[in-house]
Structure 1
């Protein structure tokens, strides 16, 4: 990928730049967090709060605008056993699109700092590729009358009664249960608006109030067919990527364990088989989405066009299904003190507390930084199916090194802990996997040679020397191939066979599809491994990064992943196998045990005991021994095993946590019960892994000025300018070499014409209105795009085309012809959608799409 010219921060002279970072939790009290920032007591408050909540800003405070949080309305599509759920009918769910009022949400709830969206994609690069699908729904806007009439027609047809403005079924009021997050200002404020709309429709509404922990338990941890919630305003972090099929795979499908319905491939919320409660249409759509998602996950496409067609198919059915109804993404600025440097708004991680910030943040001449957080945690920290909430993840990100970083403003992957060489790569699974390659055999529950005649789409050699030579575990032990390979083993054990004692239904949905794409691996030497798999992609870097991610998938929604010493995994495995704790919250609840948490004194004690027992015998997992026998290569000696156990034991006894990572910091204090709650991380003396320069590019937000007179004529040339503002700055200037995409559409959204231009040195571009365009009203979409900053932000203008000016030889006065120009039979367009006649069109809406910056299969609840 060619990287555009853009500002980059200087490499920190010391990695990380700060000696320690202290986190102060305000337990959801945003006002106190804001007050502490206003008084200069914290570097910044790590939560998106509308600017209107600030009374005053410290002098020189810097604003970082970023797509931090995606919002949607989650609808329970099942008829619950306790009552009559009106949203079991798809027509009723779809009608909600006309009352969610996305414009109100952005303008009044986000105070203008946001991008409305009908789909899961809001502001992402993929929006450029789903225009044909989005165009089909251009008619959707706030229309209460339409929603009311539709709902009335459907509910009365199914036996409901509408009496004196209220809905009843079997003589009882139809009650809609809305979960309201009282600890989230944006969500609670919008929930109250949405409740007013539901009441206006005639429903009786019952609020269920709670925080993130209650939401996770009551909504995501309950069976949708036997629960007391119908509506939830959701918020997700980590929702941005360059190639982001993971967003729709994880949230539209059942595969991410986040859907309140069942398909043939996945269960409701990863644990509940609710197919018998679902309408035939819902089950059909769920299976379609999961089929397409698996095709994407398993790389069963042969080019970019097929890939984006699958994305369009999923988006189209996802909108129709209306289980997740898009609202939009926030662009709320997060303010930072003037003396704090090295802060990155990483769009892919959706937080200022991202890996690049941890590497570079510095407090003037002081070695320490204090940061305010909303909560220390609202979940659990474990690499199987913990790390589900943004708060836990934001701190843990400092403790673990990602296999690949992302360009901050785009989400494009940059390999970090390894270099790679593509040996073979083809969209068809014809690459032979050698017979002496190894894999985890799910049926035999052990490592074996691959089956005969195994083929794959890719073969890639990964050299992990950058990691092994420049980093160690936080307990001081060397990182080796045994650690990398054992993560693949553990992930397979917990995901691929339900008879395994550490199997978890949630991890099976989360990791199973990716692990099944791995067709074999082979140890090359002490630092290199070759992997075969079906992770082909039309972008070679993305393909290589994705293949390695499928081999080492753990970490759930944690951007740093699940990299722990293999000995710590032995301890966690022992705790789960003995039934003392579970990887996922849903399995923990169903079994009445702990949700494994590596900062919980109880669970840490369990792990410590398991490590002490393993250390006594110098235990080496049978899977690692089997790999050594089959490959004739030594991965770990008993002495190394004992040394690693002792180091992990010493770390846990010293710091009272088992978060032994390979990142730039070590967690040395975690006290959620203190007043105020706090945590502290200190510089990891073993970390010396220098980040690639392209991973330190500063995002730039773009604004477009486009000169649109009240009326235009066919063939007229319109002019525009693109200006860019670097993150943390208020100075905008014209930007050269920005690609500008322009699409001309009918008001109903069908595409007539598309082209692209490049800005000149003054940031200017032009648009030539097609000469053969009939008079009428049109939609024009414009997108300014650079692959280092690809945030797409819609806005509206008007474009009215009049007949062309005509002249005669007897006069120099231009007269407007009253005859419409007819479309030529040979369409003169750069890119034309087939079967569309350009004719006289009614009312005008024009949308200018501004692109500023653009993968995660799983998302973090906020």
Structure 2
């Protein structure tokens, strides 16, 4: 989400009388449990209150397996294969795009879903899973790829491309320039599913003639070997990726850029200037438009998404395999768990809202520490975010069920007149001037597309200093300074953060502080949903300005790096404020600033005496000395202790009159009604070239989306119908039925709700005949009907198969799938 990209364009809140306690529990202890089976037993035995990692489906199948515990299902995670496309002196077969594309036919997505994750998932072709808000936008493009597990076809493509490149097969193995081609496959051994994916794909690669070297490891090792190394060194060729989520967005502007576009610094090379980097100007241009709102309508945005999706899948540098439905467990002794879409029970809303009679609340996690803790290039892994998001209040966040941007610590008012009209920026608005290292007035005749006025709810930092406009000004300075065009010898540039920040920075025209907690922001950004405009420009900070200044100077001096790739290429630490040694580095800068009377350029020229700066430095120095870490934020909990020896992190409630919200603020998210398809009325047979009607019954749905396709996978009819009193009518016209094929055709229905962006899904095959009104009498070979009443079970999947050999034989099967 956007608020990770810039310190801090997080986003937004409601005015509340300041309270002294924002949580129901006083203390939470996160403790590492690598083995999910052990964690499950600990929950059953009362030693754990929750476990923040999925539990294997076979451990929760029977009713008795669920006795004494709460089970929550959530979608959001996914699996992919990252492919190294680099070109170097040593021949890399995956530098050939057609060969990368062939991997889509070598992987068995259905096996992954049905066997490895026990049916709790869905096959994926692009970064958009079936429950993504934009999935229906690109469903036709996805279907057009027709990917199936077909090793023979994959081998045909691989053979053609390798022979074209000059390789030859000797004794069933591929050789190039007299040397056997060896593929290094980095396989995550700490995740049983990804380990199995790696083993199976390795076997398939060996079957088509590659020698495979397997390199096993966890995320810490992957940060160095895969994400931190120069792709041209070919320390890896393939990597089994896994993706988690802390939330989801109704208008995802980041996903396509993050998963496919080089500019976002998440593709091989990570934009490190010292490394070989994957390049694709075409997809960069498209995803930058999506990211920066460079479109004039929802339809144009959809078109851009379609183009980027096709290019990303076709390039196959990152190959998506499956989305998963995770099952989380919690003790029956706790209440108030919030099961958000995407994040599941690990959402930031759960620890804030959970109620327990015992203290502390004990939460099991898969990993206690796998990546850096810093707000610029850190917090890039799921595990750190599971803790960090409880310590930090963003200005705004995504609604856990609709994905809309909702206010958390600000109110806003948006003014604009459309994408083509402009607003005059006041002369006394200011912007950061890099050349003079000072704030300058924007001057006369400056224009912007949108103006947003923010009333911020500031409160206190964890070290009990008040948040103030200086924190906001410094965060905007940082965005503009580190998001500026790179020049020779530029020390305020990070290969991961800066390209992302630059997209925000170039749209910011000026700001105008109005009073202690009100600021106007003028920006060249437009969106058809004005809450997206507010979220794009929200001025906010996740940490006090004095910490940010100290971190920045430590990076400029070359002692640490904000980003993982920068740390590896420069042979310095990846800055992590939770680590005592790094915290000590930050403390020393604070001491130096205090002793030298340093006022950062971003805060010079404003009316504050030295006592203010001195108190800020003292507060952060004292915090680090007392706590042995430098994690200071503004959320409902603060970091009390991190113990690598015991593999625990302890956080305490921030019981301060400077915290603005009372306990129970997010209680409304506990219960939610999911849309459900309860019945489908479809003719036994559909006559070719004759109109037909399908009736759909639903509950808690506002509309249905339907797609009718023929046996070639071509969509011949689609549309949206309102669910009026739980009933929708689909009419397939005579013209449309004439485009169907005799035999089995397909209907897909998505029932959606305005209140929750997780549709219920029904899929079926229906029979098309010529000049026939009924099915012949044939024995029913198999009938299966399985019902699950859990509101979290989600999707109905009905499969009706039809086989025609001379005469019609019809077999109907209907089931409600385990996963939604």
What corresponds to 1:434 in structure 2?
426
Task: Please give the residue correspondences for 1:610-689 in structure 2 after superposition, counting only pairs within 5 Å.
Answer: 610-626=589-605, 628=606, 634=607, 636-674=608-646, 676-685=647-656, 686-689=658-661
Question: Which of 444, 449, 471 is 1:457 aligned to?
Answer: 449
Q: Report the 3-state secondary structure (helix = DSSP H, G, I; strand = E; otherwise coil) of the residue aligned with 1:42.
A: coil
Question: Which of 684, 698, 706 is 1:742 aligned to?
Answer: 706
Distance 1:851 1:111 in 2: 11
Q: Deviations over 1:237-284 (max 9, x none)?
A: 227321112100112101221111xxxxxxx21214667x87xxxx4x
CA distance 1:359–1:99, change in 2 (3 Å): same
Distance 1:850 1:451 in 2: 64
Q: Report the 3-state secondary structure (helix = DSSP H, G, I; strand = E; otherwise coil) of the residue aligned with 1:65.
A: strand
What corresponds to 2:96 in structure 1?
89
Please tell me whether the aligned partners of residues 796 and 846 of structure 1 are also in contact (alpha carbons under 8 angstroms).
no
The alpha-carbon deviation at position 421 of structure 1 amounts to 0.9
Question: Does residue 788 of structure 1 match 2:759?
Answer: no
Q: Deviations over 1:786-841 (max 9, x none)?
A: 133223576642122234668xxxxxx999xxxxxxxxxxxxxxxxxxxxxxxx9x
Q: Deviations over 1:137-175 (max 9, x none)?
A: 2x2222222111111111111111123432222232221
The alpha-carbon deviation at position 701 of structure 1 amounts to 4.6
What corresponds to 1:33 in structure 2?
39
Q: Report the 3-state secondary structure (helix = DSSP H, G, I; strand = E; otherwise coil) of the residue aligned with 1:652.
A: helix
Distance 1:173 1:794 in 2: 48
Question: Which of 495, 499, 508 is 1:509 aligned to?
Answer: 499
Q: Report the 3-state secondary structure (helix = DSSP H, G, I; strand = E; otherwise coil) of the residue aligned with 1:332.
A: strand
CA distance 1:508–1:451, change in 2 (3 Å): farther
Distance 2:595 2:475 in 1: 23
CA distance 1:442–1:106, change in 2 (3 Å): farther
Distance 2:251 2:306 in 1: 13
The alpha-carbon deviation at position 486 of structure 1 amounts to 0.8
Question: Does residue 99 of structure 1 match 2:106?
Answer: yes
CA distance 1:599–1:429, change in 2 (3 Å): farther
Distance 1:249 1:845 in 2: 44
Question: Which of 56, 77, 81 is 1:69 aligned to?
Answer: 77
Question: Which of 303, 324, 345 is 1:309 aligned to?
Answer: 303
What corresponds to 1:836 in structure 2?
none
Question: Which of 490, 509, 515 is 2:478 aligned to?
Answer: 490
Please tell me whether the aligned partners of residues 782 and 848 of structure 1 are also in contact (alpha carbons under 8 angstroms).
no
Question: Which of 403, 411, 415 is 1:419 aligned to?
Answer: 411
Distance 2:673 2:565 in 1: 41
Q: TM-score, normalised by structure 1?
A: 0.82
Q: Report the 3-state secondary structure (helix = DSSP H, G, I; strand = E; otherwise coil) of the residue aligned with 1:49.
A: coil
What corresponds to 1:404 in structure 2?
396
Q: What is the aligned-residue RMSD (CA, Å)?
A: 3.2
Question: Does residue 712 of structure 1 match 2:700?
Answer: no
What corresponds to 1:830 in structure 2?
none
Distance 1:845 1:754 in 2: 26
CA distance 1:171–1:501, change in 2 (3 Å): closer
Q: Report the 3-state secondary structure (helix = DSSP H, G, I; strand = E; otherwise coil) of the residue aligned with 1:754.
A: strand
Please tell me whether the aligned partners of residues 759 and 765 of structure 1 are also in contact (alpha carbons under 8 angstroms).
yes
CA distance 1:846–1:383, change in 2 (3 Å): farther
Distance 1:428 1:449 in 2: 25
Question: Which of 105, 119, 130 is 1:112 aligned to?
Answer: 119
Q: TM-score, normalised by structure 2?
A: 0.86
What corresponds to 1:538 in structure 2?
528
What is the aligned length?
Answer: 759
Distance 1:23 1:571 in 2: 29
The alpha-carbon deviation at position 845 of structure 1 amounts to 14
CA distance 1:694–1:848, change in 2 (3 Å): farther
What corresponds to 2:201 in structure 1?
194
Question: Does residue 589 of structure 1 match 2:572?
Answer: no
What corresponds to 1:389 in structure 2?
381
The alpha-carbon deviation at position 374 of structure 1 amounts to 1.3
Question: Which of 465, 468, 481 is 1:480 aligned to?
Answer: 468
Q: Deviations over 1:66-114 (max 9, x none)?
A: 1241211111112343x32211111111111112221111111111111
Distance 2:438 2:467 in 1: 23
What corresponds to 1:759 in structure 2?
723
Distance 2:153 2:631 in 1: 53
Please tell me whether the aligned partners of residues 122 and 324 of structure 2 are also in contact (alpha carbons under 8 angstroms).
yes
What corresponds to 1:563 in structure 2?
542
Q: Report the 3-state secondary structure (helix = DSSP H, G, I; strand = E; otherwise coil) of the residue aligned with 1:503.
A: coil
The alpha-carbon deviation at position 42 of structure 1 amounts to 0.6
Q: Deviations over 1:485-531 (max 9, x none)?
A: 21121233333245453432221123221222211111111111110
